Chains A and B, each alone.
Chain A
């Protein structure tokens, strides 16, 4: 992803984060106003919270568009290298066990030979 896209994305992310905090506060204040019997304020705050959610949806859509510009195949390639390395390590461990087995068979053969000629 280009640095311009990255900047735009992090800007949207920080906006969303701010909105999230603001939204939580609006909802809490609306609930408190309702409990206190101040219906007019509660209603106003609720409508503001809904308005903010619509803006948040627009921000979400913009962020999704930016994300789709990411070079996903490059990330897949990086994961592929990790998979190859992990599989190689598993195979190496298997080879070590096999090598020990071969050494055991070789020593057994050698000892039997010695026993025959003893």
Chain B
């Protein structure tokens, strides 16, 4: 029996709606831009952050020591003469810190947050560039090929299944890829949606902490404000030499302010926030046209494969 073909216009509309809902946006450049910004921040502030984290940790230990509280405890087997099992060559003796986890922001928590941001982008990158979808198509193709060429010598039951599988080769191959592609896109959307609030809330906090490590921007801004005031006062004073010096000073301070802004980790983190917001937007809405076209072609192959 021949099934009635759907109206071409209606079918195209259905494909378009389906395509718009499932299209994978081009997120690779945003992820790469975010990682580059994080790398620059880590290079610029990493050593200072490490030094501050070590100092803060020691200060927290000192506070416990002053209060006579426990600071560390030993964990694992620490007596090498207690006849350890033969398989154990060395004891697993280790020190565990009892310094409580900070409930506010410090160097360590800022460093951990920045490291987690990098892990988050790496996970998104892994999903966006996953080669597993293409691999699934290859394996699905191999599965169909495994049934071999038709042969009358084989049992009829096997050949019946083999024939059905061969007849649906395109559907099986494209279907496997399509389904996994959708799983990937959904996981990508879910991850970005779930992380959005934590990223939005955390970035200004990390930026505020990094500013405490590097006050150059504030210093440059203060100097700029003073130079602006001096310019007005010098002009009103009617002293050409003072006025000349004030003009030169404001020019220099404006350049210094621009340089401090470019180097500021807080400004870089704000740029990271912008890139992430773009990522959230691009995953909320359908992706770029090339991707939608590719998806429509994928859908068309799927529909054509249905016998």
Contacts and interface: CB of A to CB of B under 8 A. Distances in A.
Interface of A: 43, 46-47, 50, 53-54, 57, 63-64, 67-73, 75-76, 78-83, 85-87, 89-90, 92-94, 96-98, 100-101, 103-105, 107-108, 110-111, 114-115, 118
Contact of B113 (A68, A75, A115): A75
Nearest to B102: A73
Contact of B153 (A75, A79, A100, A115): A115
Closest 9 A/B residue pairs (Cβ): A89-B187, A100-B139, A118-B153, A86-B123, A107-B146, A97-B136, A108-B146, A104-B143, A104-B142
Contacts of A111: 146-148, 154, 158, 162
Given A57-B218, A86-B127, A90-B123, A43 B209 contact: no
Contacts of B113: 72-73, 75-76, 79
29 contacts: A43-B236, A46-B228, A47-B232, A50-B228, A53-B225, A63-B208, A67-B208, A68-B105, A72-B105, A73-B102, A73-B109, A79-B202, A82-B194, A86-B127, A86-B188, A86-B191, A87-B123, A87-B126, A90-B184, A90-B187, A96-B132, A96-B183, A97-B133, A97-B135, A100-B143, A101-B135, A110-B158, A111-B146, A118-B153
A89 B183 contact: yes
A75 B133 CA distance: 32
B239 to A, nearest CB: 15
A43 B232 contact: yes
B139 A68 contact: no
B120 A83 contact: yes
A7 to B, nearest CB: 16
B225 A93 contact: no
A92 B183 contact: yes
Contacts of B154: 111, 114-115, 118
SS of B interface (majority)? helix
Interface string B110-146: 1011001101100110110010110110011011011
Nearest to B204: A67
A64 B269 CA distance: 14
Number of contact residues on B: which range applies? Answer: 35 or more
Interface in B171-186: 176, 180, 183-184
A36 to B, nearest CB: 17
Given A85-B190, A103-B143, 16 more contacts: A43-B236, A46-B232, A53-B225, A64-B211, A70-B201, A73-B101, A73-B103, A76-B198, A79-B117, A83-B120, A83-B191, A93-B184, A94-B135, A97-B132, A101-B142, A104-B143
B235 interface: yes
A79 B195 contact: yes
Nearest to A78: B198
B105 A67 contact: yes
Nearest to B165: A107
B110 A72 contact: yes
A79 B113 CA distance: 9
Contacts of A87: 123, 126
A27 B236 CA distance: 18
B220 to A, nearest CB: 12
A77 B120 CA distance: 12
Contacts of A118: 151, 153-154
A69 B109 CA distance: 12
Contact of B209 (A46, A68, A76, A83): A68
Given A64-B211, A83-B123, A47 B229 contact: yes
